[in-house]
C-alpha cells in the first residue's frame, strides 16, 4: 500500500506543477475564466498532496519528498513552459484526472482487501472530486 500511495503522491505532485504551469501559460479568449479555474484545481491538488502524505504516515509508511523521486515514480508527464490554448489544457487535464480517478479506485479496492479503512475512506473523497471535475471539464472539451 505504501508503494501505491507514494506513486499516487508522485502523480499528484507532478499534476500540481503542471496545473500551475498551465495557469501561467494559458492563452485564449477565455483566459480569465481558465486562469481562475486552473488556480482552483491546483489548490485542490495541493490539499490532496498534503492529505496523501499524511495518510502514508498514518499507515506507518514514509512518503517520498524529493522532486527526483516524484518524477521517477509519476505516470503523469510534465508540461513544457510555453503558451498553450485553454482547450488544449483542458484536454490534457482531463486525461490526467481520468488517470488519477482510475488510480484512486485501484487504491480503494486494494485498501478494502487489506482492511485499511482510513485509506479506503479517503479515496472515496478523491473519487467523488475527480469524477465531478472530469464531468465539468468534459463540458468544455466536448463543446
Domain of residue 28, residue span: 2-141
> pLDDT tens, 82-103?
999 999 999 999 999 999 999 9
Considering the chain, what percentage of its residues have pLDDT values greater than 70?
100
pLDDT at 16 over 90: yes
Structural domain count, the chain: 1
* Residue 139, number of CB atoms within 10 A of its CB: 9
- Residue 8 pLDDT class (50, 70, 90 cuts): very high
Long-range contacts of 137-140 (CB under 8 A, 24+ apart): 137/90, 137/93, 137/94, 137/97, 138/94, 140/86, 140/87, 140/90
Instruction: Examine the pLDDT at 130 and tell me if it is beyond 90.
Output: yes
The DSSP symbol for 79 reads P
Percent of all residues in the chain with a pLDDT value above 90, rounded to a whole number: 99
pLDDT at 143: 79
Nine-digit cell string for 1: 500500500
CATH assignment at residue 133:
1.20.1260.10
Amino acid at each position: 500500500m505504501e508503494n501505491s500511495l507514494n506513486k499516487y503522491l508522485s502523480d499528484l505532485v507532478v499534476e500540481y506543477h503542471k496545473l500551475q504551469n498551465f495557469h501561467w501559460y494559458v492563452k485564449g479568449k477565455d483566459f480569465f475564466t481558465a486562469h481562475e479555474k486552473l488556480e482552483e484545481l491546483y489548490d485542490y491538488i495541493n490539499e490532496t498532496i498534503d492529505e496523501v502524505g499524511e495518510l502514508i504516515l498514518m499507515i506507518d509508511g514514509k512518503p517520498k519528498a524529493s522532486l527526483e523521486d516524484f518524477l521517477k515514480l509519476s505516470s503523469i508527464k510534465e508540461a513544457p513552459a510555453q503558451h498553450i490554448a485553454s482547450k488544449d489544457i483542458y484536454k490534457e487535464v482531463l486525461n490526467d484526472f481520468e488517470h488519477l480517478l482510475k488510480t484512486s479506485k485501484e487504491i480503494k479496492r486494494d485498501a478494502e482487501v487489506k482492511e485499511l479503512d482510513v485509506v479506503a475512506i479517503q479515496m472515496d473523497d478523491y473519487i467523488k472530486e475527480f469524477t465531478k471535475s472530469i464531468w465539468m471539464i468534459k463540458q468544455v472539451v466536448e463543446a
